[in-house]
Structure 1
Amino acid sequence: MAHHRSTDGRAGVRGRGVSRGLVGSLLSIILVAALVLLWAQLGDRIDRQGDQAAANCVEGTTKVPVIADPDIAGPLKTLAQDYAKTRPVVRDHCVTIEVRPADAKVTLDGLAGTWDSAALGAYPAAWVPQSSIWTADLSTAKPDAIDGKPTSLVSSPVVLATAPQLAKALDGKLDWQQLPTLQKRSSSLGDYGLGSWGSIRLAMPTGAQSDATALSAQAVAMQVTRTTGALTEQDASSPRVASSVDAMLTGAPQSPDGSAAGAARSIADADDPATSPIHAVPITEQSLFQLTRSDTSARLSEVVPDGPTPIADYPIVRMAGSQVSPEQTDAVSEFFDFVSKPDQLGKLTALGFRGDAPMPEPNATVTFPITDNPMPNPEDAATVTINRLVYGPDSGPKPGGS
């Protein structure tokens, strides 16, 4: 039998070898995979460094001043402490929200004029007054001081605080436009079976936190002018509105401390409600709830006159201008987004403010009835006109002043 041999003595070795092209392709794939892995690791490292830099507040710390109505400043300060626990970082700044209470009239004058930090504290990045009566004044006097349109944080309807006997007599028989007449006539409560009580003796406080006074005047203005939409400047400027507001103010009994709460306490503490120097006072429902929260029996009652109900809307006023930094502006937005979450907002509604969270249980005075007919916010010019009727012609902010 014949045998065939390779001429070089290595049978078939060359035919069974690995292609150089295949080796090159495999090396290329390995190289690309290595580069991709290195790139991903580099990206992760950069991200970690960025997160670490942000967590370390590479731009430092920033305080964000917020001024609020005294009724809501305390709970907002507590919420600011809760917000701080989240370790907020805005634009690489660690931010701290600092809430302080302040009188709305004093704050308005400062914002509309020249802010005096020595007297008023740091210029606010946001302001939460009791109602839009102040934002209307500010937007009229100095519109560029406000960043965007204010939005309501929570609300509280304006009601009348009265003695329980008077509330029973007025039940279902009172609307806002009757108040001027009941105030002016010396024996007006005789029409309700209370002949010995005299007039309604409606206190109209104009001191601190007297928004309910101006808001009740708006409600009267809407009814006497038969306005069906938002109150206009033309409506508010009518002689009938001026005479009606004047009738409410003229002869109004004085609150002991110039506030609605002080007047309500006077009614509650009277030995004889018929002879009390004050029979009624406009007040926010939330303030009335806080005043009576510990009462086991009703010393005061909540009267809701018929007609559109005025609302204290606690607007969030975001401030603009060179005194507010970009990180403060962003921090204000993030803070109030935090406050508006149901769990946080519930801490406000538990105090009697109305909002999209559970309300507290009614007490002997405040039952939190549904507000079927809330009064729309008037035009800014109308609000300013009513403010001047209530607080006086010289009560407005003085642009350029201190």
Structure 2
Amino acid sequence: MAHHRSSGGESIRSRGVSRGVVAALLSILLIAAVVVTWQDLGDQIDRQAEEAAAQCVEGRESVPIIADPDIAPGLAAVARNFGATNPVVRDKCITVDVRPGDAKITLDGLSGSWDAESMGAFPAAWVPQSSVWSADLAAAKPDVIEGNTRSLVSTPVVLAVSPELDTALGGRLDWSQIPTLQRRDNSLTDFGLQGWGSLRMAMPIGAQSDASALAAQAVATRVTRTAGPLTTADAESPRVSSSVRAMLEGAPLSPDGTPQGAAATIADAPDAARAPIHVVPITEQRLFQMTRDDDRARLAELIPTGPTPIADYPVIRLSGPAVTESATDAVAEFIQFASEPEQLQLLTELGFRGDAPMPAATSTVTFPRTPNPMPTPENGAIVAVNRLVYVPASSTASAVPSGTAGG
């Protein structure tokens, strides 16, 4: 019987390509691919470097921003993160330089003559504690303001009091009652507090004392029964002027002219009833910073009924010969960057309120909801109340420490 030669398996393998040759070919192809990829990567890096150099053809520019000392550290951290993105504006490499500044000194410089030698470079933007200052600047020199202001974060104005006084007044004190309680002797007996005397609310007008002016705005809004924003006509009325003067006349002095100085006096008093100061308006953020390390509550956050005044930290973009177009655009880009949640958290973790997580509550500050924020008054109304609060020391000697600057 005949047998046929097999045509499969072993015969094909015997006529196939050697494994060594295949491996050598694959190695050559792999090496070639690596070389091409490396060359492409090098060309891409060179192109990016050339593009970056071309974008920065106008060199580097430092963009100065002056901010309230409470918010300046957080904004400076945001500015460092912004710089890490290598921002280029109008062919200039941008660095944002945030520095703290006193509001009264800054206002005087912006509305008058800026002395760069003593005050530093003219700012491209200013972030004071509240619209108390933007309204004054708009009234004094409107042309220096570029566009509309906006806020990144805010903080309510509250009353710092002793825990004992908070227990007695909590939920029972309205902003409209403050002038009468301040003026009348032994007025706290109305709340069952024998031997406490009158309200003894300090009204500091030293550094970072916007809370005093904002508290006066809240009282003015309440006593005039204004449903919307406080109007200029209402703020200039005799009823408002008499109410604000009642808050100031006989107000106890803060040791250093600041809200935190007055709050420390309350916290350190061995006998709350006999303390020289019972109450002081203060921003919640500042009160949080003062008490975040306290093991026990030495102060309480009292929020009167009625509209709650807000320190809004407006971002005021500035204009003038010293502010370049690239600086103006850089401020806009920086504020947009700072609005991102991960950047805002650098501010909210300091106790400001914004669209980012808040820090843990302290024994004093629990960050309660603000159900009734006070509408921002008209600019003319803000200025009118400022004129009542930030008076020369000689005009209200009992309310203002000698030599204290307003602001």
The interval holding the TM-score normalised by the smaller chain is 0.7 to 0.9
Q: Distance in 1 between matches of 2:224 and 2:51?
A: 60
Deviation at 1:393, TM superposition (A): 7.1
The number of residue pairs the alignment matches comes to 351
Aligned to 1:51: 51
Deviation at 1:53, TM superposition (A): 2.5
Aligned to 1:233: 232
Aligned to 1:385: 384
Structure 2 vs 1, CA of residues 199 and 125 (structure 1 numbering), >3 Å: closer, same or farther?
same
Q: State the secondary structure of the residue aligned to 1:71.
A: coil
Q: Does 1:306 find its partner at 2:305?
A: yes
Aligned to 1:281: 280
Normalising by structure 2, we get a TM-score of 0.84
Does the aligned pair in 2 maintain the 1:54–1:93 contact within 8 Å? no
Alignment of 1:135-214 (within 5 A): 135-214=134-213
Deviation at 1:330, TM superposition (A): 1.0
Deviations 1:270-304 (A, max 9, x none): 11111110000000000000000001110000000
Letter of the aligned partner of 2:273 in structure 1? A
Aligned to 1:344: 343
Deviation at 1:333, TM superposition (A): 1.0
Aligned to 1:130: 129
Does the aligned pair in 2 maintain the 1:388–1:394 contact within 8 Å? no
Does the aligned pair in 2 maintain the 1:161–1:288 contact within 8 Å? yes
Structure 2 vs 1, CA of residues 279 and 49 (structure 1 numbering), >3 Å: closer, same or farther?
closer
Q: Distance in 2 between matches of 1:347 and 1:142?
A: 32
Deviation at 1:89, TM superposition (A): 1.3
Aligned to 2:325: 326
Deviation at 1:141, TM superposition (A): 1.1
Deviation at 1:207, TM superposition (A): 0.5
Q: State the secondary structure of the residue aligned to 1:243.
A: helix
Aligned to 2:70: 71
Does the aligned pair in 1 maintain the 2:69–2:101 contact within 8 Å? yes
Aligned to 2:262: 263
Aligned to 1:89: 88
Structure 2 vs 1, CA of residues 176 and 45 (structure 1 numbering), >3 Å: closer, same or farther?
closer
Q: Distance in 2 between matches of 1:54 and 1:213?
A: 51
Letter of the aligned partner of 1:93 in structure 2? K
Structure 2 vs 1, CA of residues 117 and 224 (structure 1 numbering), >3 Å: closer, same or farther?
same
Q: Distance in 2 between matches of 1:207 and 1:394?
A: 11
Deviations 1:354-387 (A, max 9, x none): 0011111211001111111101111100000000
Aligned to 2:20: none
Q: Distance in 1 between matches of 2:286 and 2:49?
A: 50
Deviation at 1:48, TM superposition (A): 5.5
Deviation at 1:52, TM superposition (A): 3.0
Deviation at 1:58, TM superposition (A): 1.4
Deviations 1:41-91 (A, max 9, x none): xxx999858623245x21111010100000001111122112111111111
Q: State the secondary structure of the residue aligned to 1:362.
A: coil
Letter of the aligned partner of 1:297 in structure 2? R
Normalising by structure 1, we get a TM-score of 0.85
Q: Distance in 2 between matches of 1:245 and 1:48?
A: 62
Structure 2 vs 1, CA of residues 328 and 394 (structure 1 numbering), >3 Å: closer, same or farther?
farther
Deviation at 1:239, TM superposition (A): 0.3
Q: Distance in 1 between matches of 2:52 and 2:300?
A: 57
In angstroms, what is the RMSD of aligned CA positions? 1.8
Letter of the aligned partner of 1:239 in structure 2? P
Does the aligned pair in 2 maintain the 1:236–1:385 contact within 8 Å? yes
Does the aligned pair in 1 maintain the 2:77–2:346 contact within 8 Å? no
Letter of the aligned partner of 2:51 in structure 1? D
Structure 2 vs 1, CA of residues 361 and 47 (structure 1 numbering), >3 Å: closer, same or farther?
same
Structure 2 regions of 5+ residues with no counterpart? 1-43, 395-407
Aligned to 2:249: 250
Q: Distance in 2 between matches of 1:353 and 1:64?
A: 24
Aligned to 2:293: 294
Q: Distance in 2 between matches of 1:226 and 1:46?
A: 68
Deviation at 1:318, TM superposition (A): 0.4
Q: Distance in 2 between matches of 1:343 and 1:152?
A: 17
Q: Distance in 1 between matches of 2:154 and 2:54?
A: 36
Which deviates more from structure 2 when the two are superposed, residues 184-193 or residues 128-137? 184-193
Does the aligned pair in 1 maintain the 2:300–2:365 contact within 8 Å? yes
Q: Distance in 1 between matches of 2:371 and 2:134?
A: 25
